[in-house]
Amino acid sequence: TLALWERAVREFRILSAVDSSEKVKPLYSTSLFYLARAMLAENEQAKVMRLLDESIQLDPLNYFSYNLKALILGGQGDVDGAKKIYAYIVTREPKFASAYVNLGNLYWNARDYESAWDIWSMGHEALPQDPVLAKWTRVAEDSLKAMVYSGKL
What was the pLDDT predicted at 152?
A: 80
- For the chain, give the percent of residues with pLDDT over 90: 91
Confidence of residue 151 (pLDDT cuts 50, 70, 90): confident
Cα–Cα dist 103/17, whole Å? 37
Q: pLDDT per residue over 53-72, tens digit each?
A: 999 999 999 999 999 999 99
How many other CB atoms are there within 10 angstroms of residue 108's CB atom? 19
Q: What angle do CA 95, 100, 106 make, to 5 degrees?
A: 165
137 vs 11, 111, 115, CA distance in Å?
A: 43, 15, 11
